[in-house]
Amino acid sequence: MSTLPVPTWLKELVGKNKAALRSAQALRAEDSISAHALHTVCHAAHCPNRGECFNCGDATFMILGDICTRGCRFCAVDKKRPLPPDPAEPQRVADAIKEWNIRYAVLTMPTRDDLSDGGASHFAQVLNAIHTCTPAVKTEPLISDLHGNKDALQLILNAHPDVLAHNVETVAPLYAQVRIGADYTRTLTLLETSKKLAPGVFTKTGFMVGLGETSAQITQLMKDLRGVGVDLLTIGQYLAPSVAHYPVARYPEPAEYEAWKQEALSLGFKAVASGPLVRSSYHAGLLYKQAWENKV
């Protein structure tokens, strides 16, 4: 399989962020994560922004372990038999958020099709522990599709998040090739259902570019997302974790990300983050603030 060369400008951008991992602040963050026996999606997904975010005191906690029950071809998270939920995890996460003095907490999860509720009850316990420990902290659960379980979604919404996030990841025509076990309609339905069950909670999603999608497909994707009321959107470059993963089809230039952002805003999204290294939780608190300011 041929590998598309990474542009020099993108290599330099990734290299700058990796260098930031050697700073004192980033090392303290790593120590705290280890001390609390926590997982982060920053590590599990090989996020290129880890150095920048750790230097800002940001991290996205990954609850319910770091093993996924599905086999998406773009993802670096391990795929094997997961462990049962850890009953001590909610308090450990809450304690770490308090220790870091985090004001906006993003929490994600691997897909847990092995659990009857997809892990929703455990996720709700984590959110409740955070709100008890640090009531002022705003929370953004980035959840799986819960296999379309409406009752499971309600459990998470009952824990009063400020944003409900679930990533669409790619355009509809690429789902069968890229998102093994996922379903485009199920993703849209979850986002639409969240808005119906909790109209006051922002909904958020993100997708990658560089997988082989066309400009027309990107436009249709954004229209579909606005059609189900999604408020916040992130757009970023797909970076293959290894040669065994889905190959990168192209590396869009930075100017294209700005054009997509403006298109998304014109469609009615309240806040958009778009750039080569943007990921779903990148500067999430700032994006929430922008959406709140644009709320009508």
In the chain, the N- to C-terminal Cα span, in Å, equals 49
Residues 6 or more apart from 7 whose CB is under 8 A from it? Answer: 251
Scan for tokens 């892990």, then name that residue: 119
pLDDT at 42: 44
Per-residue pLDDT of the chain (296 residues; tens, 9 = 90+): 457 888 888 888 777 666 555 555 555 555 555 555 555 544 444 445 555 555 454 567 889 987 877 666 666 666 667 889 999 999 999 998 898 888 899 999 988 999 999 999 999 999 999 999 999 999 999 999 999 999 999 999 999 999 999 999 999 999 999 998 899 999 999 999 999 999 999 999 999 999 999 999 999 999 999 999 999 999 999 988 778 789 999 999 999 999 999 999 999 999 999 999 998 888 899 999 999 998 76
Tokens 């089809």 label which residue? 249
Q: Which residues pair with 104 in a beta bridge?
A: 138
What domains, with CATH codes, occur in the chain? 8-293 (3.20.20.70)
Q: Distance between CA 160 and CA 277 in Å, rounded?
A: 29
Return the bridge partners of 127, or none.
none
pTM here? 0.85
Position 41 scores a pLDDT of: 45
Instruction: Report the C-alpha gap between 117 and 2 in whole angstroms.
Output: 41
* C-beta separation of 78 from 67 below 8 A: yes
Q: Following DSSP, what letter does each residue of 73-114 receive, concatenated?
A: TT--SEESPPPPP-TTHHHHHHHHHHHHT-SEEEEE----TT
Side chain identity at residue 59, one-letter code: A
